[in-house]
C-alpha cells in the first residue's frame, strides 16, 4: 500500500508546532510468540493438488480465508519511486495498534500507534526538514516522541493502525489466477526463508507469492510500482505509548 503525503503540506504543520517539554522514554521492542509455518490452529493449509487454474484458485481462496482470520502481521512496503509516497516496515494488529518505521519524502521516522493516538520520532533528515538547523530548536525535539492528530497531513499515518489498510494490496479472489512459478521455486530469497510459489492474473503484471508449504499464507505481492512483503502472521507483540510526548499546536502534553 502506498499513501501520499505531500511534503509541502507536512513541513509547515510541524514547523509551527507549539511544543510542550516532557521526559523522553524508550519503547520496548515487540515481544513475538513462536509460531509454526507448518500448521496453525484454524488456519487453512495448502489445498490438495489439482489441475492448473483450479489449483491456483484454491490457493487464493485458502489464502483469503487465512487473511480474514489473521490477528496480526509484520508488513513491509517498498515503492519503486519513494519520492511521493510512504514506505513502511510495521507490525500491526486487529486491536488498532502498530509500531515500526515509516519513510516519507521528507525523511524517516519511528511510529507508534495505539489507543487511537499516534506518535512519531523524527530521523535526522526529517528533523532538519521540519525544524531547520537551529540548535536551540533541534536540542528540544531531537530523539523525542511527538503526538500527532487525526486531522491534516498525519491522518494518513494514523490510518496505518488499521490492519486492513496495511494489507490493502492483497490479491482479489474474484480474478482468474494461474500458477506462474513452480512451488518452492518462487522469489524465495527476496522474501525471507519461506519457500514460495507465484500466482498471476492473466494479462496483469502483479504477482502474488504464497507459502509453498504448510499454511497458505500470503508472503509477498510484487507490482510494477512496489513490493509488499508479509511475515509473522498471528504473532503477538506489545505496543506501549511513549511517556510524556511533545505536543503539536492545539494539543496538550500527556
Q: Out of 19-33, 70-84, 146-160, which region has the weakest mean confidence (pLDDT)?
A: 19-33
The pLDDT score that the predictor gives to residue 45 is: 72
pLDDT of 109 strictly over 60:
yes
Q: What is the pLDDT of residues 127-184, one digit of tens each?
A: 888 788 898 988 898 999 999 877 655 678 899 999 998 987 677 778 888 888 765 5
pLDDT of 35 strictly over 60:
no
Dihedral (Cα; 240, 95, 73, 84), 10-degree rounding: -80
Q: How far apart are CA 218 and CA 230, in angstroms?
A: 7
Interior CA angle at 77 toward 32 and 164, to 5°?
70
pLDDT of 99 strictly over 60:
yes
245 or 17, which is more confident: 245
Q: How much of the chain, in percent, has pLDDT values that exceed 90?
A: 31
Contacts of 99 (CB under 8 A, 6+ apart): 27, 30, 90, 91, 110, 111, 112, 113, 114, 237, 239
pLDDT of 251 strictly over 60:
no
Ranked by mean pLDDT, the top range of 32-41, 42-51, 191-200 is 191-200
The pLDDT score that the predictor gives to residue 46 is: 66
pTM: 0.76
Mean pLDDT of 24-34: 33
| The residue to which cell 486531522 is assigned | 151
Q: Out of 48-57, 166-175, 185-194, 216-225, which region has the weakest mean confidence (pLDDT)?
A: 185-194
Say if strands 87-93 and 98-104 run parallel, antiparallel, or are unpaired. antiparallel
> Are the CB atoms for 150 and 160 separated by under 8 Å?
no
The pLDDT score that the predictor gives to residue 8 is: 34
Q: Which of 179, 183, 232 is nearest to 212 (CA)?
A: 183
pLDDT of 252 strictly over 70:
no
pLDDT of 192 strictly over 80:
no
pLDDT of 41 strictly over 80:
no
Contacts of 8 (CB under 8 A, 6+ apart): none
Amino acid at each position: 500500500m502506498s499513501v501520499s503525503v505531500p511534503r509541502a503540506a507536512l513541513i509547515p504543520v510541524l514547523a509551527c508546532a507549539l511544543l510542550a517539554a516532557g521526559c523522553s522514554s524508550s519503547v520496548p521492542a515487540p515481544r513475538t510468540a513462536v509460531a509454526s509455518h507448518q500448521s496453525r490452529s484454524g488456519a487453512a493449509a495448502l489445498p490438495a493438488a489439482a489441475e492448473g487454474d483450479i489449483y491456483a484458485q484454491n490457493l487464493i481462496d485458502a489464502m483469503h480465508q487465512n487473511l480474514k482470520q489473521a490477528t496480526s502481521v509484520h508488513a513491509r512496503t517498498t515503492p519503486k519511486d519513494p519520492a511521493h509516497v510512504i514506505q513502511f516496515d510495521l507490525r500491526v494488529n486487529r486491536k488498532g495498534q502498530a509500531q515500526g518505521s515509516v519513510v516519507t519524502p521528507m525523511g524517516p521516522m519511528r511510529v507508534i500507534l495505539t489507543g487511537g493516538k499516534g506518535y512519531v520520532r523524527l530521523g535526522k533528515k526529517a528533523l532538519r526538514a521540519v525544524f531547520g538547523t537551529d540548535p536551540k530548536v533541534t536540542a528540544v525535539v531531537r530523539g523525542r516522541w511527538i503526538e500527532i492528530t487525526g486531522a491534516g497531513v498525519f491522518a494518513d499515518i494514523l490510518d496505518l493502525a488499521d490492519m486492513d489498510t496495511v494489507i490493502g494490496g492483497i490479491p482479489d479472489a474474484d480474478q482468474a489466477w494461474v500458477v506462474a512459478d513452480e512451488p518452492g521455486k518462487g522469489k524465495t530469497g527476496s522474501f525471507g526463508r519461506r519457500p514460495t510459489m507465484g500466482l498471476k492474473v492473466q494479462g496483469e503484471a502483479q504477482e502474488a507469492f504464497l507459502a509453498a508449504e504448510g499454511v497458505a499464507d500470503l508472503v509477498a505481492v510484487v507490482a510494477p510500482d512496489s513490493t509488499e512483503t508479509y511475515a509473522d502472521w498471528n504473532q503477538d507483540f506489545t505496543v506501549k505509548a511513549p511517556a510524556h510526548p511533545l505536543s503539536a499546536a492545539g494539543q496538550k502534553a500527556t
